[in-house]
Amino acid sequence: MGVKLLLDKANVPGIRSYEVYRREGGYRSVEKALKEMNPESIVEEVKKSGLRGRGGAGFPTGMKWSFIAKPEGVPRHLVCNADESEPGTFKDRYLMEFIPHLLLEGLIVSSFALGSNDTYIYIRGEYAWITDILEDAIKEANANGWLGKNILGTGFDCNIYVQRGAGAYICGEETALIESLEGKRGNPRIKPPFPAIQGLWQRPTVVNNVETLAAIVPIINLGGDEYAKIGVGRSTGTKLISACGNINKPGVYEIDMTISVEEFIYSDEYCGGIKGGKQLKACIPGGSSVPILPANLLLKTAKGETRYMNYESLSDGGFATGSMLGSGGFIVLDEDQCIVKNTLTLARFYRHESCGQCSPCREGTGWMEKILYKIEHGQGTIADIDLLWDIQRKIEGNTICPLGDAAAWPVAAAIRHFRDEFEWHINNPVLSQTSNFGLQHYADPIHVPA
């Protein structure tokens, strides 16, 4: 069994309640942080831990915290990004639904470190029932002296508020989230200024996602150096993975990032193998926005080395032969899955969720969806494949926020690794919607249009 830092108490009966959570050692990190440490030493421990943001970008958390401005007399804010809308990702939902006090504990310690007296949880609009769970947990924490005025007699005041979004994927981007939290349309802001300088209500603000903030608890309890010993290289600590698709055991798993991708897919401790005994075709390893990898490059790098479930190994080789750990949404596709159809589904999602502020994303996502629809429904031409490549290339890197990249990368990777499947759809229009795609193209050269 792997190391468990976040889910070690997940199966304890009643762990959602304050009484059980406290009995199991909950809120010890708050006592330690507020009574034995100061804000600067907490930030230093987070830096030592090597914790990287668990929302997708993987930026070092301690470094991000150190950027926050501290102008005299100006309030600072911590915002928890619980707008988990990435297709294939549901691990934050699990934490909030079943262990809500773990998040609150991490928020209190983080708020103390950052000097935030008013902290906010911005939660996905569709998570209505989880909003109620969090509100109940906040009431329990308040009633037991962990929130409110003069916490533990230390003079530190902290209140946590929950704000539901309206179901917009774009509000997962931190500046769009801040705009929405202020009551405005959730459009991303142009940066600079960055939120650490001018964020919520133009005040210094740090935005971290649910898993990142929950991980602060074991970091303070263990110490940053001990936390950093778990994992490998710059992939320290544990990572929650949302596993779904054509596997026998979909669910949320906590890994220490030292296991191989093959072990994660096929071992009984994790995914339990491919459903129905079928062959592995491909996988999207970090949520819908990261490049898809065919089976041969998912299990081995381009150099023939074993690929592991961590930030460095999954990105080894760049986007030509690698992908990203991202948000940890691990989507497995078996031999019967159509890459063109799956890519169309993702393109439709990103077209629908584009805020429309940037023309490359607003227009380009719609064009990609239309072309993929043509190819999937037997109306495409070979020239459409190169047109798709050209469109995604002109979207990537040309938008205010990363949604443009998120829309472009899946299309680019699908063409790069499965161009023969696109061509088959075009050359066999009548059969294209019903045929089963075999494994013959798995070892083909990587096709990159000029």
63-119 pLDDT, tens digit each:
999 999 999 999 999 999 999 999 999 999 999 999 999 999 999 999 999 999 999
**Helix (H, G, I), strand (E, B), or coil: what is residue 236?**
strand
pLDDT of 433? 56
Residue 438 has pLDDT above 70, yes or no: no
In a domain, 448, yes or no: no
Residue 29 and residue 135 in one domain: yes
- DSSP per-residue codes, 433-449: TTPPP-STTTTSPP---
Residue 171 and residue 281 in one domain: no
Residue 240 has pLDDT above 70, yes or no: yes
Give dist(CA 193, CA 137) in Å, integer.
Answer: 34
In a domain, 416, yes or no: yes
In a domain, 278, yes or no: yes
38-51 pLDDT, tens digit each:
999 999 999 999 99
Residue 194 and residue 84 in one domain: yes
pLDDT of 168? 94
pLDDT of 449? 34
Residue 165 has pLDDT above 50, yes or no: yes
CATH number at residue 301: 3.10.20.600
Residue 327 and residue 408 in one domain: no
pLDDT of 432? 61
pLDDT of 45? 97
106-144 pLDDT, tens digit each:
999 999 999 999 999 999 999 999 999 999 999 999 999
Residue 387 has pLDDT above 80, yes or no: yes
What's the DSSP call for residue 430?
T
147-157 pLDDT, tens digit each:
999 999 999 99
Residue 229 has pLDDT above 50, yes or no: yes
Residue 437 has pLDDT above 80, yes or no: no
- DSSP per-residue codes, 323-351: ---TT-EEEEEETT--HHHHHHHHHHHHH
Find where tokens 């072990």 sit.
Answer: 263
What range defines the domain where residue 359 resides?
339-427
Residue 365 and residue 272 in one domain: no
Domain boundary residue, one of 334, 361, 389: 334
Residue with the bigger pLDDT between 440 and 260: it is: 260
> In this prediction, what percent of the chain has a pLDDT beyond 70?
95
| pLDDT tier for residue 430 given thresholds of 50, 70 and 90 | low
Domain boundary residue, one of 229, 257, 285: 229
In a domain, 207, yes or no: yes
pLDDT of 58? 84
Averaged confidence pLDDT in the chain: 93
By the 10 Å C-beta count (0-12 exposed, 13-18 middle, 19+ buried), 419 is classed as buried
For the entire predicted model, the pTM comes to 0.92
Give dist(CA 185, CA 168) in Å, integer.
Answer: 10
Residue 247 and residue 385 in one domain: no
CATH number at residue 421: 1.20.1440.230
Other beta carbons less than 10 A from residue 186's beta carbon: 23
Q: How many residues does the chain have?
A: 450
In a domain, 437, yes or no: no
Copy the structure tokens of residue 438: 């075999």
253-287 pLDDT, tens digit each:
999 999 999 999 999 999 999 999 999 999 999 99
CATH number at residue 179: 3.40.50.11540
In a domain, 438, yes or no: no
- The angle formed by the CA atoms of residues 356, 360 and 363, to the nearest 5 degrees, is 65
Q: Which amino acid is at 83?
A: D
By the 10 Å C-beta count (0-12 exposed, 13-18 middle, 19+ buried), 13 is classed as exposed
Residue 208 and residue 72 in one domain: yes
The phi and psi torsions of 322 (rounded to 5 degrees) equal -130, -175
Question: How many domains does the chain fold into?
Answer: 3
CA 391 to chain centre: 25
Give dist(CA 112, CA 323) in Å, integer.
Answer: 36
pLDDT of 431? 67
In a domain, 3, yes or no: no
Residue 215 and residue 129 in one domain: yes
pLDDT of 187? 95
Residue 281 and residue 222 in one domain: no
Residue 429 has pLDDT above 50, yes or no: yes
| Residue 23 neighbours by CB under 8 Å, 6+ apart | none
